[in-house]
Structure formats: structure tokens, C-alpha cells
Structure 1
Amino acid sequence: MRIGVLGAARIAPAALVRAAGAVGGVEVAAVAARDRGRAATFARRHGIATVHGSYEDLVADPSLDAVYVPLPNGLHAQWTLAAIAAGKHVLCEKPFTSNAAQAARVRDAAAGTGLVVMEAFHYRYHPLARRMAGAIREGELGAIERVETSMCFPLPRFGDIRYQYELAGGALMDAGCYAVHCLRMLSPGEPTVTSATARTLHRDPRVDRAMTAELVLPGGGTGRIQASMWSSTLLRIRARVVGTRGTMSVFNYATPQLPSRFSLTVDGRRRQERFGGEPTYVHQLRAFVAAVDGKHTNLTPPDDSVATMSLIDAIYEAAGLPPRP
């Protein structure tokens, strides 16, 4: 598989270039950026053969099988749609689009094409996430009463694109999309937002630097997501599920190849299980290639993305903020 990269993004080396070195049959073959010089520097540094002068040229390159989209959030839908129209498979960074309506447009464009369009929730393809989801699906905890997920990290650079409303920025979009997606994965069905509270930027009150939301789950349970890029909670990446038979607690569900912890208490008996090994990005890229080959299920397809973006839009509305444009 020959993949082209749209943009010399900071995430691309870990998420794709280094992962490709660990996955057989994958070549990162081309890159394009708004600044051709920046793309050329990126290509030299990472051994990429072709530099295109524009995103349009890369998407149209007939030698490429797939396109990786690590652009700012507000550009995801536009270039995913362009890649689909060009007959390319797509691995698109999260959040999938700016809002649910855009996600639905991408879903509809991909339907019936035979193309794999995967949202890059890399953690979902790691054995830890499979174990977490399996514990819920197999009923180990009994009926689910409470699900809590968080993704909080410090980003005090308020001029960063991740704080720009026009580029679909905000803590809920950048950090919170993990917490929202993980909560959906651990819920017995699609949750409904009951309330949300945002902490916003002084210079642009449309942009959240932190967000907390309360939800109700099918069956009567409740949920809570916490997300921040700048708040009193500097670092918190956790998931916790309480059921009628026990509790599951996970520290660092997002990058479990780094220090992480999984513990399960069922019927009063507690055990810990270890997960590590290959990076989540390697698992994701291997799954993407296998999905293209028809050998693996796409766990984060556009339908899943529409549900995630719908919940994000609903949280913004409950917090009194507009969905991202």
C-alpha cells in the first residue's frame, strides 16, 4: 500500500511514518504541505520519495492507494471528501470532522464506494481497548451503572490552532473526542447528554479550554466525561466503569504502550492485567491495511464518527456554546 500524507504535521512521524516501518507492505510514498519547502524538508527527514506542490496534486496522484489526513480539524472533511472522490482509501485524524453534519456528508460520500475510511482513534485497535470493550460486551461487570472517562493534558499555548474556533478547535474537540469516544465504547448503548459546563478562553468565549459533561446511558446508568487542555486538572487519562457485579479502572487507555494500568474487580475479587508492547499507531496502521485487504473490520468507520460527532455537538449545545463551524 502506498500512502500519501496531507501536511507535514507533528503527529505524522509517530502516527504513520514510524508505524509504517513496523507494518509490512506499507510505503509512505508522498507528502504535500501548504509550504512546499516544509514538505521537502519533511520528505528528506523521513525518506519520502515524492513531494507534491499542493494537496490537490497529492490527492490526484494515481500511484497512491490511500491518503492520511492529519490537517487541522476544520480541514478534515474537505480533504477526506476529496480523497474519496479520487478513489483513495482514507485514514483521517480525529476528530473526524468539525461537526455531525459534516461527518454525515463524509459517510454518505463513502457509502457504496468500497473504500475504507477510518477515523484514527488509534487506541481502539490496541489489545487494551479490545479487553475494555470485551468486558462490557460479555457482561463481566453486570448491568452498567456508571461510566467515567477523561482526557486532560496541558496546552497553555493559546495561539495554537487547537484553540482556533474557525479551525474547529477546543478542548472537547482535541482532547475530549477521546473521552467521548471511549465513553461510547464502554456504554451499553448510545448515551444522551443531560448537562455540560465549559471553561472558555477570555479572548474567544466560543472556544473551550475545559469541558465537563454528564450523560444518561441506556438502561438508566449515568456517565461523565472530563476534557481539558488548560485547567486545574493538568493530566488525567482514565476510564472507570461501575456495574452491578464490579468495577473496571483503566489508567492511560490512550497510549497503553507507555505506563498504563488495567484493573478489574468482579464479585469482590480484584485482578490486574498488563498491556503494552507495540504502539497503538502500529496496531492502527496494521488494521487499516487489513481492512483495505478485507481481512479486518474497520472499528472506527464513518457511522461511528457520526455518532461521536453528534455527541460532541450535543455537549457544546448543553454548555451553551456553538458547534464548531
Structure 2
Amino acid sequence: MSLRIGILGAARIAPTALVKPASASSDVEVVAVAARSADRAQAFASKHGIPRAYAGYEDLLADPDINAVYNPLPNGLHGRWTRAALSAGKHVLCEKPFTANAAEAREIADLAAEFDRVVMEAFHYRYHPLALRVEEIVASGELGTLERVETALCFPLPKFSDIRYDYHLAGGALMDAGCYAVHMARTFGGGETPTVVSASAKLRSPRVDRAMTAELKFPSGHTGRVTCSMWSSSFLKIGAKVTGSKGSISVFNPLAPQAYHRFSVRIGGARRTEKFPRRASYAYQLDAFAAAVLHGEPVKTSAADAVETMTVIDEIYRAAGLPPREPS
């Protein structure tokens, strides 16, 4: 048995996140793509060597040869089409953010359990050895008692007509960039889900944030901060720092270490650096998805995990005086 995946939408991220790593896998085939028009679907299929193209997501979901789908649609559509895929009996690899809000995430988690299907959120960084190493060091106690975790993802997106600034498509910096920062804070902060102490947004429009900063408090007592932006004075910032009573870890580019990364650990007066493979984080992610579907292996970014992340995102929006996003 192989994993036969159909893509919902001819998204720009799909070749990097799925098509390329699938081409190197003996367990995975990308067999179909659907788009809103037949021409768009066929053009994407021809360019990337995909056998079938559908002019409509429903037709792809009705294909009995497909046992899983990749959902890279706009944020506000993630929930709707993940529900439809589950109802059609498919496993789902869903791009982040998982849904528009926590309530919708809970609905998806319940549905995944009801249909006994794998639903995995595409936080690809989480499957790379670098992220696993941060988690390992924190769990080992080498840093001592955790005191603070700070994560950031800031990049420039000056095209303000982009769908990532559209409230009706569940847009905003916290949704697109900040979901990574929130998830990394949870992962590197000992696997706990924090509460939100305060949050401050810079706005692109009355309900849409172009930047967000939030202060967090974890159940074990340590604190945290997440910083994200799509347009701010923090032009490019991708990093994490975990501080404990005995030392700290500093990471540049935990998001996609295959491009470039710096990883250093300070314990007392000693400092060491570590290096990690150049294999793409997306390849590790696809390995994990295939192992879950084909062999029943657990995933680190499950639907239940997504509920926790979306709960924090909703709380940050409320703390900043903004409404949580709504499904499109």
C-alpha cells in the first residue's frame, strides 16, 4: 500500500511542501490536483508531473484512488475542506494554521476521531532533527529549571492585497507567521500550553494585525514571549531562545534549518554549537505523515495539538482587543 495524495488547490507552497519531497519517497505518490478552474488545475498538473487534474475540490475528494489529501487552501477554508475530506474517508495533511479558531479546531479533532483518520497540521519544522534536539535538551534538564522561552517569526509582506491580510479569509500576522511562533513556544517551552498575560497588535486594518507581540505564562511557572509580523520594523527575524537556571539555547532559523541555521547552547561559561542535516523539514514531515497513515505511527502535530495552539491564538487576539478569526 502506498500513500496516494491529492492536492486541494494549486497553491504556491505545494511544490516545496509536498511535490518535491514526495518525488524522493517510495511510499508516497501525488496523484491528483484540484483547482477552481480546469485550466489552472491542468497547468499545475502538467508543470509538476501530476497524473490527474480536477476542476473542483469535490471531484478530487470523490476519487476512490486517493487515500489522503493535502490542504493548502486559505486559512479560512482549512476547516471546511478538511471536514469534507474526512467525510470522504481521506486522511489529511492540513497547512497551518489548522483552522480559523479553536472552536473549529475542536470540531475537526472530534471528526477525525469519529472517522478514525489521520489529521496532521503541517508544522514541518517540528519534524526536523533540530526541533527534536531542542526538545531533547529541554527535557534532559541540562538547562536547569525553565525560566523563559522567546520565539519570533517576522518577515516582510508589503503586498497588502495578499489574502494573508484578508480578515474574511482568516488573515493576520498572528495567523500566518505567529502560529509558528506560538507552536514553537509550546514545543520548546516543555510541551506545555501557556495562558496569555498580555498582547499588543499593530494593525493593517481595523481587524487585521500586521504585527503582534504577546507575553505568556506556562503552567510550570516559566514565562514566554511570541513576536510575529508581516510588516513592521522587525524586517526579518526567525529565532528561538530557551533560558533555564543553568543555561540557554539560542537558535536562528528553527523554521527551515535546511536553508541555514545557527544552534548554540550555553551552560555556565561554556558554549557549544551543533549542526543538523540539510535534508528539508518538509521531507521529514512527509515521512511522518506517511508513517501515520500506512503504519499507525503517532504524529507530533495532531488535531488535538492544533486545538491547543489555536486556543492560544484566540486568547492572544482577545488580549490585543481583536476578534478571533472566523471560518470563511
Q: Is the pair's TM-score, using the shorter chain for normalization, greater than 0.5?
A: yes
My pick for the range that moved more, 207-216 or 269-278, is 269-278
Separation of aligned partners in 2, 1:30 and 1:84 = 17
Separation of aligned partners in 2, 1:176 and 1:316 = 11
My pick for the range that moved more, 212-221 or 101-110, is 212-221
Q: Tell me which of 75, 79, 85 is aligned to 1:73.
A: 75
Separation of aligned partners in 1, 2:98 and 2:296 = 23
Separation of aligned partners in 1, 2:197 and 2:271 = 32
Separation of aligned partners in 1, 2:117 and 2:267 = 41
User: In the alignment, what sits opposite 1:18?
Assistant: 20
What is the CA-CA distance between 1:295 and the residue it aligns to?
5.5
CA contact (8 A) 2:87 2:115 kept: no
Separation of aligned partners in 2, 1:221 and 1:118 = 28
User: In the alignment, what sits opposite 1:145?
Assistant: 147
User: In the alignment, what sits opposite 2:195?
Assistant: 192
CA contact (8 A) 2:212 2:228 kept: yes
User: In the alignment, what sits opposite 1:230?
Assistant: 231
Task: Describe the SS at the equivalent of 2:89.
Answer: coil
User: In the alignment, what sits opposite 1:310?
Assistant: 311
Task: Describe the SS at the equivalent of 1:293.
Answer: helix
CA contact (8 A) 2:143 2:267 kept: yes
Separation of aligned partners in 1, 2:221 and 2:266 = 22
1:142-221 alignment to 2 at 5 Å? Answer: 142-188=144-190, 189-201=192-204, 204-221=205-222
User: In the alignment, what sits opposite 1:257?
Assistant: 258
CA contact (8 A) 1:164 1:170 kept: yes
CA contact (8 A) 1:263 1:270 kept: yes
Separation of aligned partners in 1, 2:276 and 2:29 = 28
User: In the alignment, what sits opposite 1:246?
Assistant: 247
My pick for the range that moved more, 236-245 or 215-224, is 215-224
Separation of aligned partners in 2, 1:179 and 1:145 = 18
What is the CA-CA distance between 1:140 and the residue it aligns to?
1.6
My pick for the range that moved more, 129-138 or 235-244, is 129-138
User: In the alignment, what sits opposite 2:65?
Assistant: 63
Q: Give the TM-score normalised by structure 2.
A: 0.97
Kindly provide the CA deviation profile for residues 45-85 of structure 1, in whole angstroms up to 9, marking residues without a partner as x. 00111111210111111110100000000000000011111
Separation of aligned partners in 1, 2:142 and 2:296 = 28
User: In the alignment, what sits opposite 2:37?
Assistant: 35
What is the CA-CA distance between 1:217 and the residue it aligns to?
1.6
Task: Describe the SS at the equivalent of 1:240.
Answer: strand
Separation of aligned partners in 1, 2:166 and 2:156 = 16
My pick for the range that moved more, 291-300 or 119-128, is 291-300
Task: Describe the SS at the equivalent of 1:151.
Answer: strand
Kindly provide the CA deviation profile for residues 72-119 of structure 1, in whole angstroms up to 9, marking residues without a partner as x. 000000000111111101000000000000000000001143311100
Kindly provide the CA deviation profile for residues 230-277 of structure 1, in whole angstroms up to 9, marking residues without a partner as x. 000010000001101100000000000011011111233211000132
User: In the alignment, what sits opposite 1:84?
Assistant: 86
My pick for the range that moved more, 153-162 or 287-296, is 287-296
Equivalent position amino acid for 2:156 in 1: P
What is the CA-CA distance between 1:205 and the residue it aligns to?
1.2
Task: Describe the SS at the equivalent of 1:115.
Answer: coil
Separation of aligned partners in 1, 2:55 and 2:23 = 25
Equivalent position amino acid for 2:130 in 1: L
1:245-324 alignment to 2 at 5 Å? Answer: 245-294=246-295, 296-324=297-325
CA contact (8 A) 1:258 1:276 kept: no
Matched residue pairs, number?
323
CA contact (8 A) 2:174 2:229 kept: yes
What is the CA-CA distance between 1:25 and the residue it aligns to?
2.1
Q: Give the TM-score normalised by structure 1.
A: 0.98
Q: How high is the sequence identity, in percent, across the aligned residues? A: 60
What is the CA-CA distance between 1:220 and the residue it aligns to?
2.1
Separation of aligned partners in 2, 1:185 and 1:193 = 16
Q: Tell me which of 1, 7, 10 is aligned to 1:5.
A: 7
Equivalent position amino acid for 1:306 in 2: V
CA contact (8 A) 1:170 1:207 kept: yes
